[in-house]
Amino acid sequence: MRIDPAIAAMRREPARQRRAQAEMIAAGDAWRASPGVAGLLAELERFGAGAALGECALLEAAFDGAASPRALADGLCRRFVAALAGEPMGQLPFRHGFNGQVSTLLLARSGRAQLILHAREPGETAYASVGCSDAIRYEAVLAGTGAGQVVRHDPRSGRIAAQAVALRPGVRIELDLSREALQVRSVERRLVTVRLHRFAAEPGPSREYRLADGTVLHQSAGDIRASRHEMMLALLGRMGRGDAAPVMAEMAREPGDASLRWQALRECLALDTAAGFRALGEVARAAADPLAASAGALRAQLLEAHPQLLALEDRPCRA
C-alpha cells in the first residue's frame, strides 16, 4: 500500500490532525450561522416536525422559484474553499458519499427532514424499474444541464406513465415519492441540485416496480426500525432459535408494520410449525387485519399440501 507523504506526515502529528478538523468544524458552524442560512435551518426543524412547506416561508421560497437556493451552496463553497486552502487534508464535517457517478452531501437534518446537495456526473443512465417510498421531495436545479423523466405509478391500476423533463438551472420539481420518482436519463454538464426530503411519520413499505408493466419487483419496510427487526428475525431463523418462536408468534398477532408481522409469521412457521400455524390461523380469521387475506390464502395452501396441520390448531400452545 502506498501512503502519500502528506498523509504520512499528518499521521505523525496528532495536533495537526486536530487543528485541521477544528478548521473544518469552524467553517461549518460559520456557514450555519450566516445570514439566510440560519433562518432556513430553523425552518427545517419545523418542517422536519411535520409543518407544511407553506408554513416555512424561507424554505418555500427556495423551492417554489421565488428565491434562489444557490446561496446555500455558494456560501458553503466560500467557507470551505478558504478552509481547505489552509488545511487541504481536512475532512468536511458533513455526511457525504460518491459512487463514481453521483455525489451527495447532507447539509442538514432535523426530525424527518433532510437537506441534501446532490451532483451527477455527465453521462447516460438506462432504467428498467422505478422505486417508490413513503416520502415527499422538493428539488431545485442549481447548475448543469440534463434530461430526465418524472415517472408516475397509479396504485389503483398499477400503470406506469412517464413525463419528460428538461433539467437546467431554475427548474423546480415537487414529488410525492409514494407514487412519483425523478429519473435522470442523461447529463451533459455536471448536474447539481439541492433536495428537501421528508419521510412520512409512519412510512409504509418501499416498492420497486418494473417500468414495462408496473409489476412489483421488490418490497421492503419503509420504517428503518421495522427493517432492522426484520433482519433480526431472519437471523434468528437462520440460527434455528426455536426458543424465539413464541415471541415471533406474538409479533405476528400484534398490530404494527404489516411487512414485519409477515416476516415474523414466516420465521415462526419455519422454527415451530405448531405455534406458527396457530398464529397464522388467528391472523386469517381477523377480518379487519390487513394481513387476513394473505394469511388465509397461505393457510389454505398449507392445508391442501399438509391436511394434518389442521389438528395443530386444536392443540394447546407449548409456550
The pLDDT tens digits for 10-53 are: 777 788 788 888 999 999 999 999 888 999 999 999 999 999 99
Residue 287: CB atoms within 10 Å:
8
CATH 2.60.120.10 fits 13-220, yes or no: yes
Produce one character per residue of 101-131: b if its CB has 16 or more CB atoms within 10 Å, e if not. eebbbebbebbbbbbbbbbbeeeeeeeebbb
How do the domains of the chain map onto residue ranges? Answer: 13-220, 224-314
The pLDDT tens digits for 101-154 are: 999 999 999 999 999 999 999 999 999 999 999 999 999 999 999 999 999 999
Residue type, position 192, single letter: V
The pLDDT tens digits for 223-237 are: 778 888 888 999 999
Of the CA atoms within 13 Å of residue 60, those in its CB half-sphere come to 9
Place of cell 391500476: 157
pTM comes to 0.76
The mean of the pLDDT values for the chain is: 90
Alpha-carbon span 73 to 105, nearest angstrom: 11
The pLDDT tens digits for 168-210 are: 999 999 999 999 999 999 999 999 999 999 999 988 888 999 9
Cell of 51: 409543518
CA-to-CA dists, residue 316 to 123, 306, 309, 312, angstroms = 63, 20, 14, 8
